[in-house]
């Protein structure tokens, strides 16, 4: 197998985005466009990646840190000039082929990349451009073929005559090169054009003049070429991708009766018979079981949900929810909330960095933080694990089948043994043994006739 790398061009400012960030940081379904491109490259099995940064380079370098090698293009002198910035990287590494990609074309996919490589290698081309046939080719470089149908040049919109402008096969911006041929072709590009830029696309006619074999591989997925220059186009891409993902899910057994406000990350696995209701956003790193009801208005991030669970108006991040759970409305699961099977959390319940055992019920207005809660525990309304003393965080431990009365404060660190009862309104500071009843509140006193004597009211208001 050949050893290949990718060079991703991401130096552009994207003036029409009106952004302080590099254009490739504009997000498509909550992920910067560059991340979509990187994911396609990795999925195609290409491990070595060099990204050419330029406008607001430091933002992109920080974003890519540890994931890709970067080189800076200090002046934007065109796509050919951008690739030249990677020359040292290419010279000092052993590669057979180089894939050039535009960082602002987030729909490029691994299948198109791999099929184009196979086409490139099997035909022994020095350069294979990935092309696509699209309805409206305006703005793209056109693929020019000779009378035999052989690919011979790319002509940019600005340089195209009337006939050339009619061509609807366009350059996606993605192309495979044999590494050594790329380096030699780059040295021959000039900036003799109306914009005074070094066009990477000029390599085609240079190669053809030198009788080198070049090809154009037409992508089966024409969307692979789509890019966004404005936020309006970004919205169109978001809609297109959102719809594609929802359609794929629906065809594998997920019900989405109304797609309004439903946004789901591409990698999400969702089991059959699960229903997703409006206003639900499932970001990256989530896995949902079968036969669940998620939503309305639920936001999940890095969260897994077991089969048969219901999440109504839940916000969860870095959380695990077991099977047959019933959460909501208005539940907040913060990082490391791990809920077992058959857990119930009702309105205004927050769980953070805690384990909650099977069949435990936390029905109303409760905070469970930094705690280990057993199975079958019942939390009364308004229980608080007091996990922070102003300096340090401490844990609460609650055994199985404990009954915690309403408005209990568990002052951490503290533990409650299995089957214990805690009287409502208690502030628990010391260990409660198993099977004990803890009452930690002052005894009620009644003072008969006190109101009649003291007359604490002013005049009656009604």
Whether 152 and 213 have beta carbons less than 8 Å apart is answered as no
**Residue 79, binding choice from ligand UD1, Ca ion, none, Cβ under 5 to 8 Å by partner class:** ligand UD1
* C-alpha span between 291 and 428 (Å, rounded): 40
35 binds ligand UD1 (CB under 6 A): no
76 binds ligand UD1 (CB under 6 A): yes
**Residue 154, binding choice from Ca ion, ligand UD1, none, Cβ under 5 to 8 Å by partner class:** ligand UD1
Whether 215 and 151 have beta carbons less than 8 Å apart is answered as yes
Whether 102 and 9 have beta carbons less than 8 Å apart is answered as yes
Whether 27 and 34 have beta carbons less than 8 Å apart is answered as no
| 3-state secondary structure (DSSP) of residue 288 | strand
77 binds ligand UD1 (CB under 6 A): yes
Buried b or exposed e, range 43-73, using 16+ CB within 10 angstroms: ebebebbbbbbbbbbeebbebbeeebebbeb
68 binds ligand UD1 (CB under 6 A): no
226 binds ligand UD1 (CB under 6 A): no
Among candidate residues 18, 81, 342, 364, the one labeled active-site is: 364
The CB-of-118 to ligand UD1 minimum distance in angstroms stands at: 22
The CB-of-23 to Ca ion minimum distance in angstroms stands at: 9
Which is nearer to Ca ion, 32 or 227 (by Cβ)?
227
Confirm whether 364 is a catalytic residue.
Answer: yes
Site string for ligand UD1, 138-177 (x = CB under 6 A): --xx------------x-x-------------xxxx----
Nearest to 205 by CA among 171, 165, 168, 180: 171
The CB-of-14 to Ca ion minimum distance in angstroms stands at: 8
**Residue 316, binding choice from Ca ion, ligand UD1, none, Cβ under 5 to 8 Å by partner class:** none
Q: How is residue 206 written in tokens?
A: 């240079």
Name beta bridge partners: 153. 144
The CB-of-358 to ligand UD1 minimum distance in angstroms stands at: 51
Which is nearer to ligand UD1, 134 or 183 (by Cβ)?
134
Torsion of CA 206, 209, 210, 211, to 10 degrees: 120
- Determine how β-strand 344-345 pairs with β-strand 361-362: parallel
Name the one residue in this structure whose structure tokens are 């010391």: 430
According to DSSP, residue 278 is labeled T
Using CB under 6 A, pick the residue from 89, 107, 199, 301 that binds ligand UD1: 199
What is the phi/psi pair of residue 320, to 5°?
A: -125, 130
Residues 6+ apart with CB under 8 A from 221: 107, 109, 111, 112, 132
Longest C-alpha distance within the chain, in Å? 112
Closest residue to ligand UD1, based on beta-carbon distance: 141
Which is nearer to ligand UD1, 70 or 408 (by Cβ)?
70
The CB-of-85 to ligand UD1 minimum distance in angstroms stands at: 8
| Contact positions with ligand UD1 (CB under 6 A) in 90-129 | 102-105
Site string for Ca ion, 203-242 (x = CB under 5 A): ------------------------x---------------
78 binds ligand UD1 (CB under 6 A): yes
According to DSSP, residue 137 is labeled -
According to DSSP, residue 364 is labeled S
Please list the active-site residues.
Answer: 364
Residues that bind ligand UD1 (CB under 6 A): 9-12, 23, 52, 54, 73, 76-79, 81-82, 102-105, 140-141, 154, 156, 170-173, 199-201, 227
Residues that bind Ca ion (CB under 5 A): 227
């Amino acid at each position: 197998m050949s050893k290949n790398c990718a060079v991703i061009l991401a130096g552009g400012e994207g003036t029409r985005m009106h952004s302080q960030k590099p254009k490739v940081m504009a997000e498509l379904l909550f992920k910067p466009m560059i991340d979509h491109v990187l994911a396609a490259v990795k999925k195609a099995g290409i491990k070595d990646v060099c990204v050419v940064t330029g406008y607001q380079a430091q933002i992109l370098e920080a974003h890519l840190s540890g994931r890709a090698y970067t080189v800076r293009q200090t002046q934007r002198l065109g796509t050919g000039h951008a690739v030249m910035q990677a020359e040292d990287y290419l010279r000092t590494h052993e590669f057979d082929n180089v894939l050039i990609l535009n960082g602002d074309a987030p729909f490029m996919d691994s299948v198109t990349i791999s099929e184009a490589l196979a086409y490139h290698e099997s035909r022994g081309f020095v350069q294979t451009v990935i092309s696509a046939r699209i309805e409206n080719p305006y703005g793209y470089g056109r693929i020019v073929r000779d009378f035999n149908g052989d690919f011979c040049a790319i002509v940019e919109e600005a340089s195209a005559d009337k006939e050339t402008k009619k061509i609807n096969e366009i350059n996606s911006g993605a192309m495979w090169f044999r590494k050594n041929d790329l380096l030699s072709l780059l040295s021959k590009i000039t900036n003799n054009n109306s914009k005074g830029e070094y066009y990477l696309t000029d390599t085609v006619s240079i190669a053809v003049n030198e009788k080198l074999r070049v090809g154009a591989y037409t992508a089966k997925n024409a969307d692979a070429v789509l890019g966004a220059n404005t936020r309006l186009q970004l919205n169109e891409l978001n809609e297109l991708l959102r719809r594609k993902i929802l359609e794929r899910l629906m065809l594998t057994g997920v019900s989405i009766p109304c797609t309004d406000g439903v946004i789901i990350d591409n990698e999400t696995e969702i089991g059959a018979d699960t229903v997703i209701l409006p206003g639900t956003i499932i970001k990256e790193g989530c896995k949902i079981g079968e036969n669940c009801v998620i939503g309305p208005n639920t936001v999940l991030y890095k969260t897994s949900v077991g089969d048969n669970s219901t999440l109504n108006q839940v916000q969860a991040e870095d959380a695990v929810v077991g099977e047959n759970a019933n959460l909501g409305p208005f539940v907040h699961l913060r990082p490391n909330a791990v809920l077992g099977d058959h857990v119930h959390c009702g309105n205004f319940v927050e769980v953070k960095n805690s384990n909650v055992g099977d069949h435990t019920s936390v029905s109303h207005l409760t905070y469970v933080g930094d705690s280990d809660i057993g199975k079958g525990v019942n939390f009364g309304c308004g229980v608080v694990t007091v996990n922070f003393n102003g300096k340090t965080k401490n844990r609460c431990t609650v055994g199985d089948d404990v009954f915690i009365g309403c408005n209990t404060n568990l002052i951490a660190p503290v533990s409650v043994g299995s089957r214990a009862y805690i009287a409502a309104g208690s502030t628990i500071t010391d260990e409660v043994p198993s099977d004990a009843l803890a009452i930690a509140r002052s005894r009620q006193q009644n003072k008969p006739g006190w109101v009649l004597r003291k007359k604490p009211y002013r005049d009656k208001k009604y």
